[in-house]
Amino acid sequence: MEYLNTIILITMFILFPLIAGGIIRKIRARAQGRKGPPILQNVYDILRMFQKTPIDGPNSGIFAEISPISALFAGFIIWTIVVFEWTPYIMLPFFLAMQRIATISFAMETGTSFGGLGTSREILLSISSEPIIILIILVAHSHLELSFTIVGVMLGFLFLGASTVAILAELAKPPFDDPRTHLELTMVHEAMLLEASGKTMALFEMAYQLKIATFLLFLLRLAIEHSRFLSNRDIPIHIENLFTFGGAILLAVIIGYWESISVRRKWTWVPEIMGMTFLFILAMGSLVKLN
């Protein structure tokens, strides 16, 4: 059984980052009545970009060289933490901050106005979502237990719903951003990388795909394992990990459909909804513990 569990973890570690973003794009296109790109289109794009030489701007310096590698390294570390759980989840915010600093440094060094716009929005989302994510991790590591009662299930779903809001903000998904528009004046992640090309863009895209996979799997880990819904612990660990893998794929499908029906809200709305989400998570964490 231990070997089977290792195989499942390694398969999830290699496969899910390759298909997570593609599933979201495919479901979004299908929900809008379009055929959409193949699920592995992100992989094809990254391989194509690796064959091109990056063109740096006149204001580029050392950050243009080290930022893509630093972002990919941080993305790789957070992905290993969530998959193999070799260290507590409280380490996630530190490496997320490292990845964000690397991307912001690249955007600011190019000196373009679009990079500045994207950076300011990224910082706004980060200072809004990171305290919530830290609070979520603290609640998850508090050894909470929820019984299969109506109240317990409702509290669990409400807590996961509020957690999803923070994760959508961290990933710059609707309603916080709309990647479908491709307008520099509205984008966050894409606006910061407008000056990236070739291998540089490929490294940043790989880091972002790892980030998407990390948060989707993190939410399922939170729901299945760290919420202790499986309190009897009679289910084998490889079955639990297999169920987590399937649930993460289902969550990617749900987010893809959500992107097709959701719209971006005004930026003045972001601090209000994130502040309410933080207070809601704080109250829900207390109620879950009391339950």
pLDDT (tens digit per residue) in 218-254: 988 887 765 555 544 567 888 888 989 999 999 999 9
Identify whether 63 is part of a domain: no
Identify whether 90 is part of a domain: yes
- pTM value is 0.91
pLDDT (tens digit per residue) in 29-77: 999 889 989 999 999 999 999 999 988 777 777 888 899 999 999 999 9
Identify whether 15 is part of a domain: yes
pLDDT of residue 250: 94
pLDDT of residue 180: 63
pLDDT of residue 187: 72
Domain that holds residue 242: 2-55+68-290
Low-confidence ranges of the chain (pLDDT < 70): 1, 111, 142-148, 152, 179-186, 225-234, 285-291
Q: How far apart are CA 236 and CA 262, in angstroms?
A: 38
What does residue 128 show for φ and ψ, rounded to 5 degrees? -90, -35
CA nearest to 78, candidates 70, 22, 7, 195: 70
pLDDT of residue 252: 95
pLDDT of residue 183: 60
Q: How far apart are CA 137 and CA 28, in angstroms?
A: 29
Identify whether 231 is part of a domain: yes
Identify whether 201 is part of a domain: yes
Identify whether 146 is part of a domain: yes
Number of domains in the chain: 1
pLDDT of residue 146: 60
pLDDT of residue 227: 55
